[in-house]
């Protein structure tokens, strides 16, 4: 029997054992399975059902990160901001360094921003940026600093995102261009676009943006990223 078939058989066997347990003895469905059903309900927009399932999980396992996270997302969606914040803080404490962590921080940052809790939001963004030194974290920080009206802080965060980016990643420069256009700094926006052009020289949409500044895109105008210009 092939490995894939063995895996399928094991999964079916596990599901049958759970079903027998529930029918024969009335035992509870394991919390991870209830949580997975909650995730599935959330993903198709069945928020009331998802809430009910995740509350059951959280009653049985208060330290279940999924229950805290998804309940936090639902509370954020319903603008119950303080409740969302507390749930998302729990989720972050339970899942501090995993692949889900950036999404938890995204939601937590938004809950703090909507409550105008600026000091805590700034601290959250700065701590994650310092800990991970990831492009994603710096771009998140830049986005919220701009929303808070901190133009200089946002500019520094965008520069850090570019500094820590891989040499084939144009994202920081494209986001910088969006930012500089938003604040009316056309020279800086064009410079950012020309950095991006050096990385992705054949991108038609980028060419159109550069032409909008009256510049013909091509290898002679592309600017190599200036890694020495670290903040």
Domains, the chain, ordered by start: 28-116 (1.25.40.10), 133-231 (1.25.40.10)
170-190 mean pLDDT: 97
Query: Is the model's pLDDT at 231 over the cut of 60?
Result: no
| E strand or H helix at 99 | none
pLDDT of 9 > 50? The answer is no
Per-residue pLDDT at 22 exceeds 60: no
Q: What confidence tier does 227 reach under pLDDT thresholds 50, 70, 90?
A: low
**pLDDT grade, residue 2 (50/70/90)?**
low
The pLDDT of 134-145, averaged and rounded, is 98
pLDDT tens, 41-67?
A: 999 999 999 999 999 999 999 999 999
Asked if the model's pLDDT at residue 179 lies above 80, the reply is: yes
Mean pLDDT over 158-166 rounds to 95
pLDDT in tens, 182-225: 999 999 999 999 999 999 999 999 999 999 999 999 999 999 98
Residue 184 CA to residue 186 CA, distance in Å, equals 6
| pLDDT computed for residue 28 by the predictor | 77
Number of C-beta neighbours around residue 103 at 10 A: 13
| Average pLDDT of the residues in 61-88 | 97
Residue 180 has pLDDT above 80, yes or no: yes
Residue 25: per-residue pLDDT: 39
- Ordered DSSP codes for 15-67: HHHHHHHHHHH-PPPPHHHHHHHHHHHHHTT-HHHHHHHHHHHHHH-TT-HHH
At residue 35, the 3 state secondary structure works out as helix
Residue 41 in tokens: 């309900």
Report residue 13's pLDDT band, with 50, 70 and 90 as the boundaries. Answer: very low
Q: Which H or E element spans position 226?
A: none
Q: Does position 38 have pLDDT exceeding 90, yes or no? A: yes
What is the C-alpha to C-alpha distance for residues 43 and 149, in angstroms, rounded to an integer? 34
Q: Cβ(160)–Cβ(231) under 8 Å?
A: yes
Average confidence score pLDDT of the chain = 90
Candidates 153, 185, 171; CA nearest to 225 is: 171
């Amino acid at each position: 029997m092939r490995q894939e078939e063995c895996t399928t058989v094991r999964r079916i066997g596990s599901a049958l054992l759970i079903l027998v347990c529930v029918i024969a003895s009335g035992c509870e469905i394991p919390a991870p399975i209830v949580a997975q059903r909650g995730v599935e309900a959330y993903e198709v927009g069945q928020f009331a059902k998802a809430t009910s399932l995740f509350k059951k999980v959280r009653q049985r396992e208060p330290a279940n990160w999924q229950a805290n996270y998804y309940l936090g997302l639902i509370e954020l969606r319903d603008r119950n901001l303080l409740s969302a914040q507390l749930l998302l803080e729990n989720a972050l404490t339970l899942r501090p360094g995993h692949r889900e962590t950036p999404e938890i921080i995204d939601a937590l940052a938004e809950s703090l921003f909507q409550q105008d809790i600026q000091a805590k939001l700034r601290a959250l963004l700065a701590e994650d940026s310092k800990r991970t030194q990831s492009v994603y974290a710096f771009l998140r920080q830049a986005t919220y600093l701009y929303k808070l009206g901190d133009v200089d802080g946002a500019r520094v965060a965008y520069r850090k995102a570019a500094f820590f980016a891989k040499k084939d990643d144009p994202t920081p420069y494209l986001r910088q261009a969006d930012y500089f256009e938003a604040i009316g700094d056309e020279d800086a926006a064009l410079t950012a676009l020309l950095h991006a052009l050096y990385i992705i020289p054949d991108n038609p949409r980028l060419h159109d943006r550069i032409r909008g500044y009256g510049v013909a895109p091509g290898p002679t105008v592309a600017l190599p990223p200036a890694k020495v210009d670290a903040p």
